[in-house]
Amino acid sequence: MGGERLKIILSLTPPLLIIFTLFFGGIFYGFLQSLGYQPAIGKYEINFSAYYNVMFSERYAKLFWTGLGLNLWVSFASTFLAAVFALFGALAIRKTFFAKTICNFIYSLNLPMPHLVVAVGIIFVFSQSGLLARLASQIGLIGSPGDFPVLVKDKYGLGIILAYIWKEAAFFFIILMSVLQSLGENFEELAQSLGANRWQRFRYVILPLVMPNLFSASIIVFAFSFGAYEVPALLGVIYPQMLPVMAFEFFLNPDLNARSEGMALSIIIAIIVMILVVFYFWLTQAKIRKD
């Protein structure tokens, strides 16, 4: 009995140690720094001025709130569109047809692709001299590159959204395919025999069945796109700027005082993501209790 407890503790300690010292330690130290505690430059007092500066000071307020708005817009739009794209792809592909295996493979292709590469690919395809612009010019739709709409490094984060759709649609796709496969077609055939048409079968049978998985995958994608750095760093503009990029630039600022602001921003990002996850758990738990 005692031996078993010892075994549990010994087995769990190494990974927990890594997570506690590096991950939680990093967050804790970042939090301390965001409160202005910076022994390296002789600052020991603790206050919330970095948070105030970032959110409300004349210098940064506008940057922060537009950045937050951009963050929310990009995360919502890319999560939603990637999910919709993947849902229709999965629904269409699960039925047998010629080249099903190849299409399956292509739809999952972006899954193991690093985000960085996807961002570069988006530049190659959607920039004003990219593949699409060239195709458009070949069929006479546009003349010079300037005629092609700005889709990469644009104010509205369209390029960032495109990159996330490319990448995360594959993630949604894999999850949906496995759910649909495990469900089989019995429910739909049953619904059809009860007189449900195509739309009704989608709306009242398939959608409720895949929703729990779709929703939890959406939370993962949203949380990720909200805090990731690489894609907005490559595909974003200086203003408005997504929060992770802003935090990183504060941090790399030669003025060490700006570090506190960078840390404060990263803590704000973490808090928003945490609130979202807690809300999600609360929702699912409430649903379980109701059922």
Backbone angles phi, psi at 43, to 5 degrees: -110, 120
Pairwise CA distance, residues 246 & 261, whole Å: 10
Is residue 72 part of the contact set for another protein (CB under 8 A)? no
Are the C-beta atoms of residues 124 and 131 closer than 8 Å to each other? Answer: yes
**Stretch touching another protein by CB under 8 A, among 67-75, 111-119, 149-157, 200-208:** 111-119
- Quick check: 176 and 214 in contact, CB under 8 A? yes
Closer to another protein by CB, 73 or 188: give it: 188
Of 205-234, which residues contact another protein (CB under 8 A)? 213, 217, 220-221, 223-224, 226-230, 233-234
Q: Are 143 and 137 in contact (CB under 8 A)?
A: yes
The SS3 of residue 265 is helix
* Single residue of 51, 60, 64, 107 touching another protein by CB under 8 A: 107
Residue with token string 């000071």: 57
Q: Is 262 in the site for another protein (CB under 8 A)?
A: yes
What DSSP designation does 157 have? -
For the chain, give percent helix, strand, coil, nearest 5.
75, 0, 25
d(CA 172, CA 216): 10
Three-state secondary-structure class, residue 38:
strand
Residue of the chain from 35, 50, 77, 122 that contacts another protein (CB under 8 A) = 122
Q: Site for another protein (CB under 8 A): which residue of 46, 59, 62, 114?
A: 114
87 near another protein, judged by CB under 8 A: no
The residue from 1, 41, 238, 288 that contacts another protein (CB under 8 A) is 1
- x/- string (CB under 8 A) for another protein, residues 188-207? ----------x---------
Residue of 18, 275, 283, 286 that binds another protein (CB under 8 A): 18
The least distance separating another protein from the CB of residue 92, rounded to whole angstroms, comes to: 5
Mapped onto helix, strand or coil, the DSSP state of residue 156 is coil
Select from 6, 25, 215, 275 the one that contacts another protein (CB under 8 A). 25
Contacts with another protein, 270-289, as mask; x by CB under 8 A: x--xx--x------------
Closer residue to another protein, CB minimum distance, 150 or 270: 270
For residue 224, give the nearest of 197, 242, 250 by alpha carbon. 242
CB of 88 to another protein, least distance (A): 8
